[in-house]
Each structure stands twice: as C-alpha cells, then as structure tokens.
Amino acid sequence: MKITDARVIVTCPGRNFVTLKIVTDSGITGVGDATVNGREMAVVAYLREHVVPLLIGRDPARIEDTWQYLYKGAYWRRGPITMAAIAAVDTALWDIKGKVAGLPVYQLLGGRSRAGATVYGHACGETIEEILREVARFVDRGYRAVRVQSGIPGLHGVYGISNNTPIYEPADAAIPTEAAWSTERYLAHIPSVFAKLRDEFGPSLRLLHDVHHRLTPIEAARLGKELEPYHLTWLEDPVPAELQEGFRLIRQHTTTPIAVGEVFNTVWDCQQLITEQLIDYIRATVVHAGGITHLKRIFDLAALYHVRSGSHGATDMSPVCMAAAVHLDVAIPNFGLQEWAGHSGETDRVFPHGYRYDDGYLHVSEEPGLGVDIDEELAAQYPYKPAALPVNRLEDGSLHSW
C-alpha cells in the first residue's frame, strides 16, 4: 500500500479546525487533527509545504518510521507547530492501520482496560449561585467530575467564564482580546467558591480547577494549601510550565494534586515533572504531543511514577483528536480523567464520529480505525476565520500569562 495524496482541510463550523486526510492507493483514508488554537495557518503551511510532499509514495503501515522521519528529519525538533503536524500524520496512519486490520485502534494499543473514559465538563459562573446551578446540571447529567471556573469580584472577562454562549470559546477575535487579571483578587476569592461547592455537593463529587498558568510557585503553594480541605481532584496549570523544577516548591507545601501538560508537545516538556513525581496528572493530548505514538510513550513513562493521564479536551481539540483520545483512554493502564467540553452541532456534523457520551463516560467507537471522518463538502461551507486567543494584563498594565 502507498500514500497517494494528503489533503490539509481548514474549516470553521463555529471555530477553526485543521484536519489532515491521508489517501492510499487502496482507497483507504485516515484523518488526523492538526489544530493549534490561534495559530492554525502556521500548521497548515508546515504540513502543505514541508510534510505532505514527503508522504507521497510512503508505506502508510510504517507509522514509527514515519514519525522518526518527520521528527529527526526536520532537524529543528519539537515545538507546537511541528509536533501538531507530526501528530496529524501519526493519527491518520493509526486510523488507516485500524481500517486495514478491521479493528478499532484501541485493540491495536493493547485492548480494552475499562468500560469507558470518565469525563469532566466545564461548569462556570460569575457568581456562586450561577456556579452551583451549573454544577448541578452536570451532576444531573451523570458527570462524576466537574471543572469549576469562577468570575472574580472586580475583574471582567476572566478565563473560563463563557459569555452566555453554551460552549466556552476563548479565541474570540482576530486581534487578541485584552483581559484583566489580579492575582490578589483571585487568591482571595477562589477558596470560598470551593468551600460552598463542598457544602452543596458533599465530599465525593470530583472537583477540578484550572489556574491557567497564572501564579508563581509560592502563590500556587498557598492556593493548594487553602484548597486542601476541599479535596480537589486536581489544580491545573498552577504556574507557567517552562520551569519544571518550580513545581518542587508547590509540592513541598501542599497535597492538592497537580495537573499540567495541555501545552506540552513532547515528553521532554514533562520528563522531570514525571520522573520526580512533581505532578499527579499529565494532560498532554494527541493533537499537541506528536500523535498517538508519542502520547502513549508519555503515558507509559508516567505509569512508572504513579502519574495518571488527564488529557486536554477543550473545544479546540477537534472530534478527530477526541476520537483518538478515547481509544488511548480505554486502553492505557494509568488513565485518570478525560476533559470533554463538547462541540457545536455544526462541528459534529462536519466531523461524523462514533464516540458517544453516556452516564459520565465517553464510550469509544467499535468501528475499524478511529471511528471519525470529515465531511469535506460540508467543511468547505465554513471558511477559515482568523481568531486569536486573548492576552492578559495586570491592573498596572503588565502583560501576564493568559
């Protein structure tokens, strides 16, 4: 079998997605997600100019060799754009391999380890009353885990608060929206939110919170300590993660579990975090961390150090990425949680898929391959719309992590 074509499809059914479709001489095709939120066209160019020409004529069965060829062959290794491009190729080749074998991809990854992937959704609100109503909605729908983001008194446009849209889409303008931030106001407010949540929902509902890269290690240590009575499942992205050893300071002060990794693109971004047990969940994803091949390598390393998976699953992970994620989720031994923000109806129509939600779990498709595709005709009806992620400024105007 040979690769005869590879199409890079850009579509915007409510938000932008980049999808790679690989075509073989047998007529079997495979798809891979290549979406990097706010930098989509960089990946499109990388794929079209520097990857697709190398794929034509290659044997699609040689997944590992292709991965090494695109990773080492680039000379300039790692980075979000390169690794998303490699991820898309890798994911599409696993899709093809499953179709050729007549098996769902999870069967090629060691078979089923669990009934389904426990998911968490996004509850948010400007006020505690709104938050309690939102969390109750998720509980009523059978969710066992809920991420909670709160408005902060005195601040507007805080991360995670959807402005009356059913689904939170942070990439909301071609030129970055400027959001305001105050660590002091944030740290003063958040513990009271979780105190009220525990009063309302009791001790067993799994509660998570995303700090979204905004604190220093000692600030994160303070927050972790103050949240200890509320037993969060995890505190996510407490600090920007370039300084892996910074997490040691957080660890020294608090037992609140730490999750990090949605922005990571290779195992080297988290090798110290995992091997020194500085984190509890690794949130790397299929689309951002080099595809199924490399993400399984990261999860296998994590399994040696009591670190569980907790893959990112916001709306900018397309249904192609989510389909691949659920195959890994049901197969690996150290699965933790799967984020699932869900997608718009338009998106679900552009990307017909077999995974489905039921009673707090995402269930994997039993179709051969990944069980997802892209309707290219429908996709063409939604042209790309430039959209950048916001930036964050402190009250004195300093540029801060968003």
Which chain residues interact with ligand CS2 by CB under 6 A? 37, 170, 210, 212, 262, 312, 314, 316, 339, 389
Is 69 labeled as catalytic in the residue annotation? no
Task: Give me the least distance between CB of 170 and ligand CS2, in Å please.
Answer: 5
- Give 95: exposed, middle or buried? Use CB within 10 Å, 0-12, 13-18, 19+: buried
Task: Give me the least distance between CB of 324 and ligand CS2, in Å please.
Answer: 16
Task: Give me the least distance between CB of 240 and Mg ion, in Å please.
Answer: 12
CB atoms within 10 A of CB 359: 11
Q: Do the beta carbons of residue 152 and residue 182 sit within 8 Å? A: yes
CB closer to Mg ion out of 210 and 329: 210
Q: Rounded to an integer, what distance in angstroms lies between the CA atom of residue 64 and that of residue 58?
A: 12
Is 230 labeled as catalytic in the residue annotation? no
Task: Give me the least distance between CB of 35 and ligand CS2, in Å please.
Answer: 9
Q: How many residues bind Mg ion (CB under 5 A)?
A: 1
Nearest to 355 by CA among 345, 341, 366, 347: 366
Task: Please list every residue from 305 through 364 that binds Mg ion, using CB under 5 A.
Answer: none
Task: Give me the least distance between CB of 210 and ligand CS2, in Å please.
Answer: 5
- Name the binder of 373 from Mg ion, ligand CS2, none, CB < 5-8 A by kind: none
CB closer to Mg ion out of 33 and 90: 33
Task: Please list every residue from 189 through 248 that binds Mg ion, using CB under 5 A.
Answer: 210
- Name the binder of 269 from ligand CS2, Mg ion, none, CB < 5-8 A by kind: none
CB closer to ligand CS2 out of 3 and 258: 258
The residue whose two tokens read 């009523």 is 140
- Name the binder of 219 from ligand CS2, Mg ion, none, CB < 5-8 A by kind: none
The catalytic residue among 71, 106, 120, 159 is: 159
CB closer to ligand CS2 out of 29 and 338: 338
The catalytic residue among 189, 212, 213, 343 is: 212
CA distances from 316 to 170, 223, 263, 285 (A): 10, 28, 12, 11
CB closer to ligand CS2 out of 316 and 373: 316
Q: Do the beta carbons of residue 327 and residue 104 sit within 8 Å? A: yes
Residues tagged active-site: 159, 212
The binding site for Mg ion (CB under 5 A) comprises 210
